[in-house]
């Protein structure tokens, strides 16, 4: 009888120590859920969610302070992924935000640019190249299409243009699928 | 009769009862046995050369980046002359030079439809042949000796513009490894397995020597010891010719089973060497290098005769042609010109196919040119497409797949758009051979699904990369801003402390003032003044440090904008200091001003302005009270007064600034809503109304002037571009040093408007 109690006490102690050690040794830095959410967000950094960037939105979500349906560029898919990660209920996207549009990148009409550097300050990913009083240009590869630079331009010379289709990024169309009876 | 022959005979007999038993005769999995139709063109002799009316030479190859043109429109060029070349490191960018296939004049350099399933256009050189066929002999300037190292061979191949001619079109120089001895076995692909195509067959029959010599040259340069050539059993003539050419050389000719897709690189490698290539491994890493017979022939001609690749043997065949043939077609010959030569049975109003019926694709325009990878032009009249039925999960596709994939699973997941699962099923190992579609009893175009899935997955990965990049860049930017802010703060703090110390030193003698309230007010005012002074100094300093000596000719607009920004910052400072000391004004952030609602923003700004004014007045009154009560009018007091005056002056200046900001907020929010410019005007009007209701002061006039100017600017813009509503509203301010900036912006805007008008007009003109 006494042996059994001792054995179990010993075991409890051992596991307690093990668990305690593990929680110290394998402590996770930062907020793993925010990281996870940040991964599924499109990283457009457009701020349309009302947060200054994707990361802050992810953190707000992880802390349960935000709705799941705020990321407009991500659309429904991202909303579903977020709700899966956070365990929050899915919510329909706001009106008119659901339909995904083809990716666009900013284009600066270099004849009109006065080089005011306003757009450079606005761009979240430093995709605009230029210096004071020099014409500016967009590094297409790095532009996320967040449209933040469009309204700030005083001479209205930035516009969003769809990404050009070349033989390199052309996609084979999906074959016409037949409706299968299910 | 040896045992293996016996086995094959026995199996052939068995195949009559059980067709799939034919698959036991070859080493790779699956495969199909389509009807070949090879005799259509194989029985005809090679047609004599033909120079079309125009040649279209795409600058871009199926793989790699486009080359850059060296010729101008109207220039006369000779055969083999270099027309376009890589300006960058060609090794990295996989750029292949373009040579003139015959002599003639460059007619145009313009986008033309490419022989690509998308039917997209790209830059092409259009050449009008003059029929003289004047050639530059030995254009590559070779001495005919066999290169002794891979580098020498690679450089010749690069300049000759040789690409893999079997189908993929990967630049040959990029395929060859740099180290000598890395390749131990060289493989020659003579197993032309696609139905209808016979160009390799005829090439082996007529130019066996060149192929064998080309292989020997390559083996010599690479230090390969073994050369094996695989030819399908249905080309006995070719086997004989090649055996003859290969006698007394180390080249070994082997006949392989006739099964589709025997000509696939992995399939033929397995058949010839017994090596099954692992997933994602390159043949080169295993010491094997396989090239098409036509590529070897091109290598021979480049190395020995210095001829760049400007023509290739093309099969023109199909059930819609009366006289199918093979021809040494110049690169750039339009498909339609060749098809017309073969006497089509009916007019060619249906799309031609580039490649064979299994792996080829329909071109979007029959005038697309022959490129270096065009082995066949197929004219098969459209047949009624069998109705696609649901998958019955019969597993036929799985048994036919030469790569051992699970076509049916990939199909299901592609249909469900679960591309990550499709990728896990190794869809990228699919060679798009079409065996699965061929055997599918439900007539499902399976390969189409895999092609679609592949492009979707590629796009997905590209997007992931872009996302990662965007994240990194954003984080970097945040870090940079943070750092700059810290630096600025540190400087500001240092300045503040210095000023405080001075103030303290001054204050200590007059520390004991009778009126406590007056003292606190005075202190507040002084502290504010000190802060302002610090901020101003700071901003001036940052101005100086940020702006390297600018030549006077450069636009002053930027400087003005910077000053405005500095003032804005200063204003904010003021606000914060005032609110903390006097505790009258509720803390207000920029965010509030940018509230999406235009009206509320305008109101908020107006309220704020009013508050500030009342506060300023109060301050002034308390200060005057302190002035009255304090008997001494010492130096300190004067200093405070001076600071106050400055503050008042600044506030007067800042009032319009605040207005401007409000305006901006209105327009900012109006922009996404696509509201009419009118909204802004009304907002501005409202602003005037709300603000005029507050007690009038001498500053009122200045502010009114600002509003008026802003309104005028809006009206002007409205007049300038009536159609454009999303114009950014950055209104003018009456501040003298803002004038230049305003002018610059106005000028730029006028330019924009003019341009837009011109564009509109021209558009209308077009219509
Ligand atoms: S260039 Fe404009 S649209 Fe592109 S990422 Fe920068 S701010 Fe956004
Ligand atoms: S905001 Fe407009 S004018 Fe200013 S630098 Fe950018 S593109 Fe040029
Ligand atoms: S062959 Fe066709 S029907 Fe049969 S399992 Fe494959 S896809 Fe389905
Ligand atoms: S097309 Fe792809 S999946 Fe279909 S049989 Fe060929 S290799 Fe297999």
Global ipTM: 0.74
For residue B393, the ligand 3 atom closest to its alpha carbon is 5
Q: How high does pLDDT run on average in chain A?
A: 82
Tell which CATH architecture fits domain A104-162.
2-Layer Sandwich (3.30)
CB count within 10 Å of CB B442 equals 17
The residue extents of the domains of chain B are 39-378, 468-766
Among A105, A127, A174, most B C-beta atoms within 10 A, so best to mutate, is: A174
Are A32-86 and A104-162 the same fold in CATH? no
**Interface list for A 98-127 with B (CB within 8 A):** 111-112, 114-118, 124-127
Q: What is the mean pLDDT of residues B487-511?
A: 82
pLDDT at A92 over 70: yes
pLDDT at B141: 82
Which residues partner with B79 through β-bridges? B135
Q: Which of B54-58, B148-152, B160-164, B709-713 has the lowest mean pLDDT?
A: B709-713
Q: Which of B120, B388, B668 sits opposite A178 (nearest CB)?
A: B388
Residue of chain A whose Cα is closest to the Cα of B561:
A116
Cβ(B231)–Cβ(B253) under 8 Å?
yes
pLDDT at B673 over 50: no
Per the CB < 8 Å rule, is B459 touching A43?
no
DSSP three-state, residue B68? strand
Nearest CA to ligand 4 atom 5: B401
Residue of B30, B386, B388, B391 best suited for mutating to test ligand 3, as the one with most atoms within 8 Å of CB: B391
Strands A137-138 and B55-58: unpaired
Q: What is the mean pLDDT of residues B101-115?
A: 90
Q: Which of A55, A156, A171 sits opposite B752 (nearest CB)?
A: A156
Q: Which residue has the higher pLDDT, B761 or B77?
A: B77
Q: How high does pLDDT run on average in chain B?
A: 74
- State in Å: Cα A53 to ligand 3 middle: 47
pLDDT at B625 over 60: no
The residue extents of the domains of chain A are 32-86, 104-162
Among A30, A151, A168, A180, most B C-beta atoms within 10 A, so best to mutate, is: A151
Residue of chain A whose Cα is closest to the Cα of B557:
A116
- State the ligand closest to the CA atom of B439: 3
pLDDT at B481 over 60: yes
Q: How confident is the model at residue B49 (pLDDT cuts 50, 70, 90)?
A: confident
Q: How confident is the model at residue B299 (pLDDT cuts 50, 70, 90)?
A: very high
Q: Which of B69-73, B110-114, B253-257, B699-703 has the lowest mean pLDDT?
A: B699-703
Give tens-digit pLDDT for B236-288.
999 999 999 988 888 999 989 888 888 888 889 998 988 888 887 888 888 89
Q: Which residue has the higher pLDDT, A11 or B275?
A: A11
**Range among A175-179, B235-239, B510-514, B592-596 with highest mean pLDDT value:** B235-239
Q: Which residue has the higher pLDDT, B688 or B45?
A: B45
Cβ(B199)–Cβ(B315) under 8 Å?
yes
Which residues partner with B189 through β-bridges? B230, B292
- State in Å: Cα A142 to ligand 1 middle: 8
pLDDT at B310 over 70: yes
Per the CB < 8 Å rule, is B555 touching A133?
yes
pTM beyond 0.80 = no
CATH fold label, B39-378: Rossmann fold (3.40.50)
For residue A142, the chain B residues in CB contact (below 8 A) are: 469-470, 473
Q: Both ends of chain A: CA-CA distance in Å?
A: 63
For residue B395, the ligand 3 atom closest to its alpha carbon is 5
Residue of B396, B414, B448, B450 best suited for mutating to test ligand 3, as the one with most atoms within 8 Å of CB: B396
Q: Which of B189-198, B596-605, B748-757 has the lowest mean pLDDT?
A: B596-605
Q: What is the mean pLDDT of residues B106-110?
A: 90
For residue B749, the chain A residues in CB contact (below 8 A) are: 154-156
Q: How confident is the model at residue A66 (pLDDT cuts 50, 70, 90)?
A: confident
pLDDT at A176 over 50: yes
For CA atoms B43, B46, B52, B56, the dihedral sign is positive
For residue B401, the ligand 4 atom closest to its alpha carbon is 5
Give tens-digit pLDDT for A126-157.
888 888 877 788 888 888 888 888 888 888 88
Q: Which residue has the higher pLDDT, A99 or B130?
A: B130
Q: Which residue has the higher pLDDT, B183 or B753?
A: B183
Residue B622 backbone phi and psi in degrees, to 5: -65, -40
Q: How confident is the model at residue B31 (pLDDT cuts 50, 70, 90)?
A: confident
Give the closest-approach CA distance of A63 to chain B in angstroms: 21
DSSP three-state, residue B231? strand
pLDDT at B436: 92
Q: What is the mean pLDDT of residues B577-586?
A: 43
Closest CA to A90 of A59, A67, A74: A67
Q: Number of CB pairs < 8 Å for A and B?
A: 126
pLDDT at B675: 39
pLDDT at B35: 87
Per the CB < 8 Å rule, is A133 touching B558?
yes
Residues in contact with ligand 4 (CB, 6 Å cut-off): B 400-403, 405, 407, 430-436, 446-447, 450
Q: How confident is the model at residue B413 (pLDDT cuts 50, 70, 90)?
A: very high
- State in Å: Cα B446 to ligand 3 middle: 9
For residue B720, the chain A residues in CB contact (below 8 A) are: none
A171 interfaces chain B, CB cutoff of 8 Å: yes
Question: Is domain A32-86 given the CATH code 1.10.15.40 in the classification?
Answer: yes
Q: What is the mean pLDDT of residues B65-86?
A: 84
CA A157 from centre of chain = 27
Cβ(B642)–Cβ(B574) under 8 Å?
no
pLDDT at B561 over 90: no
Q: How confident is the model at residue B535 (pLDDT cuts 50, 70, 90)?
A: low
For CA atoms B134, B139, B141, B143, the dihedral sign is negative
Residues in contact with ligand 1 (CB, 6 Å cut-off): A 106, 122-123, 125, 127-128, 138, 143-149
Q: What percent of chain B has pLDDT over 90?
A: 21
In order of A107, B373, B658, the CA distances from B568 in angstroms are 29, 64, 9
Q: Which of B448, B477, B744 sits opposite A172 (nearest CB)?
A: B448
Per the CB < 8 Å rule, is A175 touching B469?
no
């Amino acid at each position: 009888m006494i042996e059994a109690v001792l054995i179990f006490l010993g075991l409890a102690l051992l596991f307690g120590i093990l668990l305690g050690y593990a929680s110290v040794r394998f402590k996770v830095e930062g907020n793993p859920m925010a990281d996870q959410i940040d991964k599924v967000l499109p990283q457009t950094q457009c701020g349309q969610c009302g947060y200054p960037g994707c990361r802050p939105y992810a953190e707000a979500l992880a802390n349960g302070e935000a709705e799941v349906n705020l990321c407009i560029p991500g659309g429904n898919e991202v909303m579903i992924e977020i709700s899966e990660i956070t365990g929050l209920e899915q919510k329909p996207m706001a009106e008119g935000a659901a339909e995904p549009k083809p990716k666009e990148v900013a284009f600066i009409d270099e004849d009109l640019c006065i080089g005011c550097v306003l757009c450079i300050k606005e761009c979240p990913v430093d995709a605009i190249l230029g210096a004071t009083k020099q014409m500016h240009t967009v590094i297409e590869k790095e532009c996320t299409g967040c449209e933040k630079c469009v309204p700030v331009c005083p001479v209205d010379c930035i516009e969003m243009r769809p990404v050009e289709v070349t033989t390199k990024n052309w996609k084979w169309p999906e074959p016409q699928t037949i409706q299968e009876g299910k | 009769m040896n045992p293996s022959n016996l086995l094959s005979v026995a199996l052939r007999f068995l195949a009559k009862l059980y067709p799939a038993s034919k698959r036991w005769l070859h080493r790779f999995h699956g495969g199909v046995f389509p009807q070949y139709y090879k005799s259509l063109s194989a029985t005809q002799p090679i047609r004599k050369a033909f120079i079309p009316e125009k040649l279209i030479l795409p600058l871009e190859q199926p793989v790699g980046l486009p080359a850059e043109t060296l010729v101008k429109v109207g220039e006369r060029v000779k055969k083999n002359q270099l027309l376009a070349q890589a300006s960058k490191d060609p090794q990295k960018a996989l750029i292949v030079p373009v040579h003139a296939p015959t002599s003639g004049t460059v007619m145009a350099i313009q986008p033309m439809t490419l022989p690509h399933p998308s039917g997209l256009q790209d830059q092409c050189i259009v050449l009008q042949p003059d029929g003289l066929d004047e050639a530059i002999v030995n254009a590559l300037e070779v001495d005919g000796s066999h290169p002794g190292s891979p580098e020498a061979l690679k450089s010749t191949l690069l300049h000759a513009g040789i690409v893999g001619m079997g189908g993929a079109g990967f630049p040959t120089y990029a395929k060859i490894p740099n180290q000598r001895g890395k390749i131990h076995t060289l493989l020659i692909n003579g197993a032309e397995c696609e139905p209808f195509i016979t160009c390799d067959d005829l090439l082996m029959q007529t130019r066996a020597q060149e192929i064998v010599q080309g292989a020997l040259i390559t083996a010599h340069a690479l230090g390969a010891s073994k050369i094996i050539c695989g030819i399908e059993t249905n080309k006995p003539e070719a086997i004989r010719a090649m055996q003859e050419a290969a006698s007394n050389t180390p080249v070994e000719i082997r006949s392989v089973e006739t099964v589709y897709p025997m000509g696939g690189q992995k399939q033929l490698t397995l058949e010839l060497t017994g090596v099954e290539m692992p997933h994602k491994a390159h043949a080169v890493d295993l010491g094997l290098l396989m090239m098409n017979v036509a590529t070897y022939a091109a290598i021979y001609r480049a190395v020995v005769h210095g001829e760049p690749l400007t023509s290739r043997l093309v099969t023109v065949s199909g059930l819609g042609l009366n006289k199918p043939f093979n021809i040494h077609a110049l690169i750039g010959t339009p498909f339609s010109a060749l098809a017309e030569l073969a006497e089509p049975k009916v007019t060619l109003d249906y799309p031609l196919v580039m490649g064979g019926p299994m792996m080829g694709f329909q071109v979007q325009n029959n005038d697309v040119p022959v490129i270096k990878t065009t082995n066949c032009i197929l004219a098969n009249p459209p047949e009624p497409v069998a109705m696609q039925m649901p998958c019955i999960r019969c597993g036929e596709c799985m048994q036919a797949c030469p790569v051992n994939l699970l076509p049916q699973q990939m199909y299901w997941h592609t249909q469900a758009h679960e591309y990550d699962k499709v990728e896990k099923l190794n869809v990228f190992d699919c060679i798009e051979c079409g065996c699965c579609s061929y055997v599918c009893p439900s007539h499902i175009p399976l390969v189409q699904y895999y092609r679609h899935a592949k492009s979707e997955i590629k796009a997905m990965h590209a997007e992931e990369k872009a996302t990662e990049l965007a994240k990194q860049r954003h984080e970097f930017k945040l870090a940079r801003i943070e750092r700059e802010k810290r630096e600025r703060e540190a400087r500001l703090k240092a300045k503040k402390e210095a000023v405080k110390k001075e103030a303290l030193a001054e204050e200590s003698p007059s520390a004991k003032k009778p009126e406590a309230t007056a003292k606190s007010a005075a202190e507040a005012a002084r502290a504010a003044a000190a802060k302002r002074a610090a901020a101003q100094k700071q901003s001036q300093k940052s101005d100086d440090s940020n702006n390297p000596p600018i030549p006077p000719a450069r636009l002053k607009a930027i400087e003005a904008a910077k000053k405005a920004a500095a003032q804005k910052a200063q204003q904010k400072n003021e606000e914060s200091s005032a609110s903390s000391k006097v505790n009258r004004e509720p803390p207000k952030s920029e965010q509030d001003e940018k509230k999406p609602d235009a009206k509320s923003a305008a109101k908020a700004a107006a309220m704020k302005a009013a508050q500030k004014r009342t506060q300023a007045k109060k301050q002034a009154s308390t200060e005057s009270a302190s002035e009255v009560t304090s008997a001494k009018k010492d130096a300190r007091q004067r200093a405070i007064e001076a600071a106050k005056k400055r503050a008042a002056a600044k506030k007067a200046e800042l009032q319009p600034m605040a207005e401007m900001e409000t305006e901006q907020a209105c327009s900012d929010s109006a922009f996404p809503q696509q509201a009419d410019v009118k909204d802004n005007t009304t907002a501005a009007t409202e602003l005037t109304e709300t603000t005029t209701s507050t007690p009038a002061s001498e500053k009122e006039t200045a502010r009114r002037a600002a509003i008026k100017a802003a309104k005028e600017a809006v009206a002007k813009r409205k007049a300038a571009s009536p159609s454009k509503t999303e114009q950014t509203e950055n209104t003018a301010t009456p501040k003298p040093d803002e004038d230049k900036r305003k002018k610059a912006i106005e000028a730029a805007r006028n330019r924009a408007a003019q341009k837009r008008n011109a564009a509109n007009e021209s558009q209308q003109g077009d219509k």
